[in-house]
Amino acid sequence: MSIASEIIRLRSELPVGVGLCAVSKFHPASAIREAYEAGQRCFGESRVQELLEKIPQLPSDIDWHFIGHLQTNKVRQIIGKVALIESVDSEKLLSLIDSESRKAGVVTRVLMQVHVAREETKFGFLPEELTEYFRQRKFESLTNTHLCGVMGMASNTDDEERVRADFASIAGIFRDITINIAPDLRGFDMVSMGMSHDWPIAVEEGATIVRIGSMIFGDRQ
Ligand SMILES: *Cc1c(COP(=O)(O)O)cnc(C)c1O
């Protein structure tokens, strides 16, 4: 199947209200353009250098999502260029995004990455760390960062019940924050979870945006 037909098929299968981030890491600008022509506007990249090379080659109305581990020494390079940083995995990184955004005179939208999967991803806040962050209302010190929600990954396993349980805990943490811990938070409404092999389960468990790469673009080199 072509990139365009995969985009169109996925769009038709995703429920209304669930966004699609097409993960284009390791794929060339030409592949992104093909998806763009099929109407796709949101793309996910996981490496700063690769993202910075692609941005000027592609239309300016693309919403770029940064989805990889962001090193603190590279924050400044992407501030003002991305629509969303999905992978905020420490308070230190968050403070830096905030201060660099202030210096640049922009507001940066971010998701808090939560780590629930077994061993797979080493990055992200532990569930207790994340809920504690909100319980202590540390977000009140941010001036130029908009916390938009949470992002997470399930364990990399064929055990569907394990995957479902991981997605359920990510969505559960999100609900705990929005309903019990900080119900006054505004614009904290995104749950980014689900990749090529597990997105239908993520959607069933409450994803509002899925991040799909290889199913659209084929295997990465
Ligand atoms: C690569 C990546 C994806 C997409 O994975 P696929 O299996 O290719 O769909 C999603 N999220 C993150 C954080 C990734 O690094």
**Strand ranges in 170-212 using DSSP code E only, listed in sequence order:** 190-192, 209-212
Residue to mutate (ligand 1; options 3, 10, 20, 23; most atoms within 8 A of CB): 23
Task: Write down the pLDDT at residue 146.
Answer: 98
Average pLDDT over residues 190-208: 98
What Cα–Cα distance (Å) separates residue 192 from each residue in 2, 45, 143, 172, 207? Answer: 25, 14, 23, 13, 6
CATH numbers and ranges of domains, the chain: 3-217 (3.20.20.10)
Average pLDDT over residues 130-146: 98
Task: Write down the pLDDT at residue 220.
Answer: 81
Contact 59, 38 (CB under 8 A): no
The string of DSSP codes covering 65-97 is EE-SPPPGGGHHHHTTT-SEEEEE--HHHHHHH
Joined together, the tokens standing for residue 92 give 């230190």
pLDDT digits (tens, 9 = 90+) for 146-182: 999 999 999 999 999 999 999 999 999 999 999 999 9
**% the chain with pLDDT above 70:** 98
Average pLDDT over residues 71-96: 98
Task: Write down the pLDDT at residue 118.
Answer: 76
Task: Write down the pLDDT at residue 117.
Answer: 85
Average pLDDT over residues 14-30: 97
Q: What is the rounded distance in angstroms from the CA atom of residue 2 to the CA atom of residue 167? A: 29
Query: b/e map of 180-219 (b: 16 or more CB within 10 Å)?
Result: ebbeeeeebebbbbbbeebbebbbebbbbbbbbbebbbee
Output the CA 194–ligand 1 centroid distance in Å.
Answer: 8
Output the CA 141–ligand 1 centroid distance in Å.
Answer: 31
* pTM across the whole model: 0.97
Average pLDDT over residues 78-106: 98
Output the CA 166–ligand 1 centroid distance in Å.
Answer: 16
Q: How confident is the model at residue 122 (pLDDT cuts 50, 70, 90)?
A: confident
Task: Write down the pLDDT at residue 120.
Answer: 61
Q: End-to-end alpha-carbon separation of the chain, Å? A: 18
Residue to mutate (ligand 1; options 65, 211, 216, 221; most atoms within 8 A of CB): 211
Residues near 182 by beta carbon (within 8 Å), at least 6 away in sequence: 134, 135, 137, 139, 188
Lowest mean pLDDT among 1-5, 115-119, 206-210: 115-119
Task: Write down the pLDDT at residue 119.
Answer: 67
Ligand 1: lining residues by beta carbon, under 6 Å: 23, 25, 46, 67-68, 195-196, 211-215
Q: What is the rounded distance in angstroms from the CA atom of residue 203 to the CA atom of residue 135? A: 27
Task: Write down the pLDDT at residue 62.
Answer: 98
Contact 151, 113 (CB under 8 A): yes
Output the CA 23–ligand 1 centroid distance in Å.
Answer: 6
Q: What is the rounded distance in angstroms from the CA atom of residue 172 to the CA atom of residue 130? A: 12
Partners of 44 in the β-ladder: 23, 65
